[in-house]
A and B are shown apart, each in its own frame.
Chain A
Amino acid sequence: MAILVDAGTKVVVAGITGSEGTFHSLRNRAYGTQVVAGVTPGKGGQDVEGIPVFDTVEDAVEATGANTSLIFVPARFAAEAIYEAADAGLHLVVCITEGIPVRDMAQVGAYLRGTDTVLVGPNCPGVISPGSANVGIIPGEICAPGRVGLVSRSGTLTYQIVHELTQRGVGQSTCVGMGGDPVHGLGFIGSLERFEADDGTDLVVMIGEIGGDDEERAAAFIAERMSKPVVSYIAGFTAPPGKRMGHAGAIITGSSGTAVAKAEALEAAGVQVGRTPTEVAELVRFALS
């Protein structure tokens, strides 16, 4: 078992004919993921190494039964690609693209609230359920099938921690890279909720970083709703305090957004917080032994 993506996932890649789109589509397919279609306006009828390309997502869904969108298009077209995927009825959209304006994402978020579509990202490394499906850019070879769920705001830091888990013989059910943008789709809470309900997950690793209050909110959710153990890491204990414009941010969250504040909130909710990636992997191994 896993969350979000599995052997039944059929991916349509928006921006498949771009260099990154092509590279990662083929890599995901080589991993065993069903990459059934690509979309590039004006290139319908072509193919990328045997993956058929369509002009629209709806065309791709009709022809191939795709149920998940993976987006690589440039930032200024990314919001459009998300709307198109949602309107084609896809239940999961994974948006890798970075640099999308906040206003576009706020509008996308408001739109998606009225649909059944779940967005992961943007500015994220994607989702992998080791052994069954890789939808994004997480290197498959550092993962191993297992029973630890992982959710993270970071990209390469996720790889570091997954790598350390795998090296210790600790496999993963699903790794979710939720992305680091201020306005994003699925977050810690949505991921934790799914891991809590997943029979294939025994423990969850949650990787946060300084800024915002996602971790504090997750801590409140964990205290109330999680029966499975959670181990966490927060990056940025030694990061210098950023210069701050105005007071609005602090008034909204009531939080300082520092790593210490986040770690304290999580520890108060019964979460073990490792101070380095290595310590996190050790805590997980110990908790499972």
Chain B
Amino acid sequence: MDLYEHQGKDLFERAGIPLPERAVASTPQEAAEAAERLGGHVAVKVQVQMGGRGKGGGVVLVHSPEEAAREAARMLEQGFGGAPVTRVLVERLVDIAAQFYAAISLDRSEGTYLAMVSNDGGIEIEEVARTKPQAIRRVHVHPVRGLRPYQARRLTGHLPPEAREGAAEILTEASSVLEQTDATLIEINPMVLLTDGTVMALDSKVTVDDNALFRQPDVAALSDSFPIDPIEQRAREAGLQYVKLDGEVGIIGNGAGLVMATLDVVKQAGADAANFLDVGGGASAEVMATSLEVILSDPSVRSVLVNIFGGITRCDLVAKGILEALERVTPRVPIVVRLDGTNAEEGRQILAEANHPKIVPAATMLEAAERAATLALEGAA
């Protein structure tokens, strides 16, 4: 789960990390009031769950409450990167002497956390990583011992002398936020040295492990503020992984890898997938019915491809689920069904007996993809 900047900063503040004075605003009026209170010279920052704000006009420096209101109005109205915007962060401008980059992140290949500090801050940190790798110090953080003080000293030892102590404290505090919230990423870009000698975090990017939300109720509650597409919401409530795409073949499959492979095979057959939908393990009749409803509610869908390889999932139950769904929803497009694995024979038998006019059985994944692609392109013509 990706947090908004202001939510990450609230976690930072509780851990003792120095931050600029700031306020969250959800209307232009609130933005103006916040700017007034913070002295007029502020940054107005769009709050979204993605990066690239600086380049995309999502962070604007202004010098009056009126300007703050105008920028806030623009951001709230236009959204950012295709996502709706419900709030902005208004933050007092600070006098920056130097900019750095700091992060603690999961290192998948080592199976533990990696802390990194660059003495060359600013936006293009990936460029720094490629062209000036010596600018970035890296230290692996043991998942039980956490970041040790000597490691924080090592990480910050290439910064200007006056920044080292403050930066090391921020790293230590960020490590405790990571531990206490089950975060897999904490990124501070930039971490800055001010002209008065203070080191502070100007930005926050925090990603929390979804698998740990059961023991992080306070963090989990933050998701209430995230905008969600109504169809995705419906899918999520049914325990389905659904992502809307741009094509015309609706896809239902079990297991993320198989669904991704299905997308690839449909593409090879000359069509594009309208979505990614993974029903997970143990697809019941209820789950199949909801999946079909979700897919068919997308007007761009011209055919549906159900690709199930039964392991835990039983194909006879999938077949019953499809038939049950067709009692609830009247399909406007053909549904190609391919069943294999556990109880596949029984499942195919059930569908054959039902002899539904919209169901097109297919023997293999490849054949199913080709049929679905052809039907979708015919339907679109």
**What residues make up the interface of A, taking CB atoms closer than 8 Å to B?**
20, 75-76, 99-103, 105-107, 109-110, 125, 137-139, 142, 152-160, 163, 180, 182-184, 207, 209-210, 212-214, 217, 233, 235-240, 243-254, 275-278
Contacts and interface: CB of A to CB of B under 8 A. Distances in A.
B168 interface: no
A245 B264 contact: no
Given A101-B182, A160-B261, A277-B261, A243 B50 contact: yes
B233 interface: no
Given A155-B311, A163-B309, 11 more contacts: A103-B182, A103-B212, A139-B311, A154-B258, A157-B258, A182-B108, A183-B112, A184-B111, A209-B256, A246-B105, A253-B108
Nearest to B257: A154
Interface stretch (B60-68, B159-167, B184-192, B291-299): B184-192
B95 interface: no
Contact of A156 (B112, B113, B209, B255): B255
22 contacts: A110-B142, A138-B311, A154-B257, A155-B257, A155-B311, A156-B258, A159-B258, A160-B258, A160-B340, A160-B365, A184-B111, A212-B109, A235-B261, A237-B267, A243-B50, A245-B2, A245-B49, A246-B105, A248-B104, A248-B116, A250-B126, A254-B130
Nearest to A96: B312
B187 A247 contact: yes
A270 B109 CA distance: 22
A212 B108 contact: yes
B268 interface: yes
Given A183-B111, A254-B129, A236 B264 contact: yes
Given A154-B255, A210-B260, A254-B129, A275 B268 contact: yes
B51 A245 contact: yes
B341 A139 contact: yes
Complex A-B, nearest 5 residue pairs according to Cβ-Cβ distance, in ascending order: A154-B257, A156-B255, A157-B257, A248-B105, A106-B143
A238 B263 contact: yes
Nearest to A156: B255
A99 B182 CA distance: 13
B114 interface: yes
B215 A277 contact: no
Interface in B113-171: 113-114, 116, 125-126, 129-130, 136, 142-144
Contacts of A138: 311
Given A246-B185, A248-B105, A278-B366, A159 B311 contact: yes
B101 to A, nearest CB: 8
Contact of A139 (B49, B187, B310): B310
A251 B268 contact: no
**Which among A109, A236, A245 has the highest number of chain B CB atoms within 10 Å?**
A245
Interface in B284-335: 309-312
A176 to B, nearest CB: 14
Contact of B267 (A75, A233, A238, A243): A238
B103 interface: yes
A213 B109 contact: yes
Contacts of A247: 51, 101, 103, 125-126, 187, 189
Given A102-B182, A139-B342, A213-B108, A246 B103 contact: yes
A139 B341 CA distance: 7
Contacts of A139: 310-311, 341-342
A134 B253 CA distance: 25
B323 to A, nearest CB: 22
A276 B261 contact: yes
A239 B263 contact: yes
B245 interface: yes
A276 B182 contact: no
B262 to A, nearest CB: 9
Contacts of A277: 261, 265, 365
A275 B101 CA distance: 39
Contacts of B185: 245-246, 248-249
A285 B309 CA distance: 22
Nearest to A20: B312
Please indicate which of the listed interface residues A180, A249, A254 has the most CB atoms of chain B within 10 Å of its own CB.
A249
Interface string B204-223: 01010101101100000000
A102 B209 contact: yes
Contacts of A106: 106, 111-113, 143
A275 B227 CA distance: 36
Contacts of B261: 157, 160, 233, 235, 276-277
Given A156-B254, A252-B107, A163 B112 contact: no
A174 B176 CA distance: 43
A180 B257 contact: yes
B243 interface: yes
A240 B143 contact: no
Interface in B10-61: 49-51
Contacts of A276: 261, 264-265, 268, 366
A256 B187 CA distance: 19
By CB atoms of chain B within 10 A, which of A75, A137, A142 has the most?
A142
B273 interface: yes
B103 A156 contact: no
Contacts of A246: 51, 103, 105, 185, 187, 189, 205, 207
B311 A125 contact: yes
A174 to B, nearest CB: 17
Nearest to B366: A278
Contacts of B265: 276-277
A210 B261 CA distance: 11
Interface centre among A75, A217, A238, A254 (most CB of B within 10 A): A238
Contacts of A156: 253-255, 257-258, 309, 311, 341
B109 A99 contact: no
B100 interface: no
A14 to B, nearest CB: 18
Contacts of B211: 75, 99-102
Nearest to B143: A106
Contacts of B310: 139
Contact of B109 (A107, A159, A244, A253): A253
